[in-house]
């Protein structure tokens, strides 16, 4: 089974850059999208309810902002869950999941705190809410994947300029400790598990030729519970759909 996650930085913008053609080539069985920035009336019906897919969207209440989606090719009726019960987080469309016979797959978009102290405080609030939710997922024993833009680079291997970013949102000690706590609970960072010595990135600033110079951050993740076996994980750096790159994982369950 191939799982793919992408922060599309606006689905309408990504479609103009070839999203549908890319999707046909990439061939995931489950697709997790973040920052879709769209409602049903904003995109063609072929994107909102794509042929051959079961799709569930979690748009933000604020038009043109945030939002997640999860698409599945699984046959038959498919069950989804929208949100986690956190009023502000659900209002921003932060989490949506699909429940397949063999596993659950969640598309998650954690807030960025880079615009200032108020946003960083909101990010910490939401991280505090999500941690027990993650703990519940792993203690249930149900094979589960959490995929998406977590807006955190975990270690110096996951960011080009670690030292100069130690006081910046996305690489703060408290944020990195949050990911380390996931590891202590038994969650697995699948990219790092399969690529232990690879320094690769999934997001680049749109300023200062960051992408051309590969000055990036690995903030787009696929995390798994122990019941998931992983064959390979890779970042599709050249997809050209967004300031983020798609991340793919080939997995088996059982």
Catalytic one of 29, 104, 149, 214? 149
Cα atoms in the 13 Å half-sphere on the side-chain side of 148: 27
Contacts of residue 113, Cβ cutoff 8 Å, sequence gap at least 6: 119, 120, 121, 122, 123, 124, 151, 169, 170
What does each C-alpha distance from 37 to 22, 66, 181 come to in angstroms? 19, 5, 30
> Which tokens belong to 52?
């051959």
Which residues contact residue 110 at a Cβ distance below 8 angstroms, ignoring those fewer than 6 apart?
94, 123, 126, 127, 130, 148, 149, 150, 151, 152
Is 149 in the active site?
yes
The tokens describing 38, both together, are: 């769209």
Own/partner contacts of 115-123, CB < 8 Å, gap of 24 or more, are 119/169, 120/169, 120/172, 122/88, 123/151, 123/169, 123/175
> Catalytic amino acids?
149
């Amino acid at each position: 089974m191939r799982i793919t996650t992408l922060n599309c930085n606006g689905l309408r913008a990504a479609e103009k850059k070839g999203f549908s053609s890319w999707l046909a080539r990439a061939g995931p069985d489950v697709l997790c999208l973040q920052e879709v920035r769209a409602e049903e009336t904003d995109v063609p019906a072929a994107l909102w309810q794509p042929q051959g897919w079961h799709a569930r969207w979690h748009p933000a209440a604020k038009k043109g902002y945030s939002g997640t989606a999860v698409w599945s090719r699984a046959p038959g009726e498919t069950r989804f869950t929208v949100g986690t019960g956190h009023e502000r987080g659900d209002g921003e469309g932060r989490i949506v999941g699909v429940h397949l016979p063999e596993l659950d797959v969640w598309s998650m978009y954690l807030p960025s705190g880079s615009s200032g102290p108020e946003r960083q405080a909101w990010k910490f609030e939401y991280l505090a809410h999500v941690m027990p939710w993650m703990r519940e997922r792993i203690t249930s024993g149900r094979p589960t994947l959490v995929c998406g833009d977590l807006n955190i680079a975990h270690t110096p291997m996951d960011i080009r300029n670690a030292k100069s970013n130690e006081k910046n949102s996305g690489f703060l000690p408290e944020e990195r400790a949050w990911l380390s706590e996931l590891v202590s609970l038994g969650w697995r960072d699948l990219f790092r598990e399969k690529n232990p010595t690879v320094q690769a990135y999934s997001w680049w600033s749109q300023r200062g030729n960051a992408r051309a110079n590969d000055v990036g951050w690995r903030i787009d993740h696929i995390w798994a519970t122990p019941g998931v076996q992983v064959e390979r994980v890779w970042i599709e750096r050249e997809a050209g759909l967004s300031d983020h790159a798609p991340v793919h994982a080939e997995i088996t369950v059982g």
